[in-house]
Amino acid sequence: MKLSSRGGALLLLAPGRAAAGAAVLCAPGPAPARPRLPAAPTRAVARWRDRRPSLPGPGATSPGVQRRRPPGRRGAARLEKLARRPGEPRSFQGVLPPELWIHLAVVACGNRLEETLVMLKSAVLFSHRKIQFHIFTEDSLKPEFDKQLRQWPDSYTKKFEHRIYPITFSVGNPQEWKKLFKPCAAQRLFLPVILKDVDSLLYVDTDVLFLRPVDDIWKLLRLFNSTQLAAMAPEHEIPKIGWYSRFARHPFYGSAGVNSGVMLMNLTRIRSTQFKNSMIPTGLAWEDMLYPLYQKYKNAITWGDQDLLNIIFYFNPECLYVFPCQWNYRPDHCMYGSNCREAEHEGVSVLHGNRGVYHDDKQPTFKALYEAIRDFPFQDNLFQSMYYPFIFLKQIEKTMKRAYEKHVIIHVGPNQMH
């Protein structure tokens, strides 16, 4: 973990933030206040009550498509009563109809089995609602995924169902797509085509960890306006040190591009939209656009499918909702000092350990969080096993800051000033 000029670069769990994620202190010190995201209702009753025609929800479709009417207040109250056992908190998880489940997709090839299982474990540990896992993987990994997930305790397996899919590409050369950047990563581009019966979806990379309920990021779908159909976080907060703004040889979204490691998608809208592009004057459907787009830019892209998504939303900026960096917090937000203010104020919601930091010593706190979730026995007390030990990192931060100030900072005297 690198040190900034303002002290130790540490990601910490602060008291009172267990539900909101990990607080991050990459560069200690005051920061200007920013408005927080609108508070979202936490129960299905509130979800039905707050839906407005002017603010489409996860299932928003084109005009004329009929939506199933939600149950009335009495019906919702009966569902809530049935969902609870004596002494349990209010929850709809047990009786939610399938259309109200959270859908989570991941693509795992090569040596990504453990990382993926740890990611899924973090989702189950903190979630409230039922989750449908969509796991895309190679044939050799399918049996192990199924075996491992079925071995989890009943108290957790009842919170999710899983489906395992083969790696498939509907257009172009499958081998070309499979080798584009990371193995199989381009599969995410084809999710709207493959998951035809899924309305909305959260895609994450295998090296992602949820530090708060998945339900919370799922609620961001409600913030989409009438044209938005996907959501991602910026690739960087500061364009002058961002990769796209300095090196990209192709169009990209905004001033610094977007990172596709955490991506919310309204698949219904994606399937029904004609996308503007640089190939023909008229729009193209999502599936019809992918291969021609790849052929045009394949000699200019570096990060594979993420670059293609940046190109798509460069030409269709009105289709993208950009969520804050706390929902896709990466080592890049700590490497050059703290540059994710949302995480400083709200805590890290979704941790993205790219650059392999879960498996080396370059970012010790990322690695420690990964190992804590990986090694957590389901039967143990969550607070004692995971949260409480990280409180001791506060003292480590103080020690590192003192050492840094003693050995690195040079106090300049008046005679040396210019």
In tens, the pLDDT along 276-310 reads 998 888 899 999 999 999 989 988 888 888 999 99
Strand-strand pairing, 7-8 and 200-204: unpaired
* Percent above pLDDT 90 for the chain: 46
Inform me whether the pLDDT recorded for 395 exceeds 80.
no
**Tens digit of each residue's pLDDT (9 = 90 or more) over 18-56:** 334 444 333 333 333 333 433 433 344 344 334 433 334
217 close to 104: Cβ distance less than 8 angstroms = no
Element spanning 25, H or E = strand 23-25
The CA-atom distances, in angstroms, between 333 and each of 215, 229, 341, 362 are 24, 26, 9, 14
pLDDT at 67 over 70: no
Residue type, 221: L
Half-sphere exposure of residue 195, counting CA atoms within 13 Å on the CB side?
Answer: 30
Q: What is the mean pLDDT of the segment spanning 391-395?
A: 54
* Residues sharing a CB contact under 8 Å with residue 364, sequence separation 6 or more, in sequence order: 1
CB of 9 within 8 A of CB of 343?
no
Q: What is the pLDDT of residue 32?
A: 34
The highest-confidence range among 12-16, 218-222, 343-347, by mean pLDDT, is 218-222
Q: Which residue do the tokens 């994710």 mark? A: 340
Chain position carrying tokens 């957790």 = 156
Determine the Cα–Cα distance for residues 344 and 209; give it in Å rounded to an integer.
18
With cut-offs at 50, 70 and 90, classify the pLDDT of residue 99: confident
Residue matched to tokens 């690198």? 2
Q: What is the mean pLDDT of residues 400-414?
A: 55
Dihedral pair phi/psi, residue 204, rounded to 5°: -135, 150
In the chain, the domains with their CATH numbers are 102-378 (3.90.550.10)
Q: What is the pLDDT of residue 335?
A: 80
Q: What letter would DSSP give residue 383?
A: I
Q: Which helix (H) or strand (E) holds 11?
A: strand 10-12
Rounded CA gap, 23 and 16, in Å?
10
Q: Is the pTM of this model over 0.85?
A: no
CA-wise closest residue to 158 among 231, 119, 101: 101
pLDDT digits (tens, 9 = 90+) for 103-115: 999 999 999 999 9
Alpha-carbon distance of 89 to 105, in angstroms, equals 28
In angstroms, the Cα distances linking 361 to 216, 233, 330, 357 are 30, 26, 15, 7
CA gyration radius, the chain: 22
Main-chain dihedrals φ then ψ at residue 52, nearest 5 degrees? -125, 145
Looking up tokens 């939303």, which residue turns up? Answer: 313
Task: Specify the pLDDT at position 338.
Answer: 84
Quickly count: other Cβ atoms within 10 Å of residue 395's Cβ: 9
Of 346, 80, 350, 109, nearest in space to 215 by CA: 350
Q: How far apart are CA 300 and CA 315, in angstroms?
A: 17
pLDDT of 405 reads: 63
Q: Ramachandran region of residue 3, left (φ > 0), alpha (ψ -120 to 50) or beta?
A: beta
Biggest alpha carbon–alpha carbon distance for the chain: 78
